[in-house]
Amino acid sequence: MMLRRTAQERRDRALRVVLPVIVLALSLAVWELVVRLASIPPYVLPAPSLILQTFVADRALLTQSLLVTLITTLEGFLLAAVGGVGLAVLFNLSRLVEYSLYPFAVILQVTPIVAVAPLLLIYLPQPLAVLACAWIVAFFPVLANSTLGLNSIDRNLADLFALYGASRGQLLWNLKLPSALPYILGGLRIAGGLSLIGAVVAEIAAGSAGAGSGLAYRIVESGYRLNIPRMFAALVLLSIAGIVIFYLLAFVNHIALRRWHESALEAGS
């Protein structure tokens, strides 16, 4: 009985990997076939094989652009992490600070970044403007989640800390931050993807005027030149970057929580 169940679980897990791969391969094959049979020109729709060739041919250029975008994303993410958690801690320590600043954090969040980016590009040098965009988009989920986490402490544990005369610093470090960790990590997982989006939006807003060389800039530039295969190649790279960021953060989340938090425990253990 037990054995049969694990065998079925294994088959289940394999299917979850194999099925999407089959779907992907089939779609690519159909795409390739349609392009070839209908003789669609590459500036309308390039075949997957051509995109792959473009990858290889432009690899130096594309890798360099990827690096630029990734560095911006990483910087934006780190600033969002530090800023979001830091401000949440500040809010938690002082109601006055929270009341004073929270509305502006919300305004920053609800104003579409696409509309803000051109303004930022006027006042800031381009790399800084791109970074600011990445930060603005990624910052709020970290702040909101961390605030929620810091307020979600076990009341009995808080009583216990009071009983032993814990200082505010001890309370924060030994109770509030560890309690908030799953929430903070949840916020960071969202922020990772968003900071990539922020960086891309700003690069696109900078457009041809920009001196930057990020992947999104490459897409815009290739569009102007009708180099559609390179647009696709850059887009695929962006997708892969997003996927890697997502799984990297999911992995960090798992490592940090696997011994104690419900969300990270193996089913049935």
Partner 1 sequence: MAATLHHSGAPIVALRGVGKTFSSGTVALAGLDLDVREGEFLSLLGPSGCGKSTALRIIAGLTEPTQGGVEWPRAIAQVNNENRLGFVFQEPTLMPWTNVSNNVLLPLKLKGGASEQASGRVAAALDRVGLQKFAAAYPRELSGGMRMRVSIARALVTEPELLLMDEPFAALDEITRFKLNNDLLQVWQALRTTIVFVTHSVFESVYLSSRIVVMAARPGRVFTELAIEAPYPRDQTFRTSAEYAALCRRTSDALAGAMAAGGVE
In angstroms, what is the minimal distance from the CB of 145 to partner 1?
17
Identify which of 35, 19, 73 has the alpha carbon closest to the alpha carbon of residue 246: 73
**Which residue among 6, 39, 156, 208 contacts partner 1 (CB under 8 A)?**
156
**Which residue among 165, 224, 266, 267 contacts partner 1 (CB under 8 A)?**
165
Q: Does 161 bind partner 1 (CB under 8 A)?
A: yes
Cβ–Cβ under 8 Å, residues 138 and 76 = yes
Q: Which residue type, as a one-letter code, is found at position 111?
A: T
Q: Does 166 bind partner 1 (CB under 8 A)?
A: yes
**Which residue among 8, 111, 152, 170 contacts partner 1 (CB under 8 A)?**
170
In angstroms, what is the minimal distance from the CB of 192 to partner 1?
22
**Which residue among 75, 102, 261, 264 contacts partner 1 (CB under 8 A)?**
261
Q: Does 268 bind partner 1 (CB under 8 A)?
A: no
Name the 3-class secondary structure at 257: helix
Q: Judged by CB, which is closer to partner 1: 63, or 170?
A: 170
Q: In what helix (H) or strand (E) does residue 258 lie, and over which residues does it extend?
A: none
CA–CA distance, 229 with 222 (Å, rounded to integer): 9
Cβ–Cβ under 8 Å, residues 154 and 179 = yes
CA–CA distance, 188 with 88 (Å, rounded to integer): 13
Binding residues (CB under 8 A) for partner 1: these are 154, 156-157, 159-166, 170, 174-175, 178-179, 181, 259-261, 265
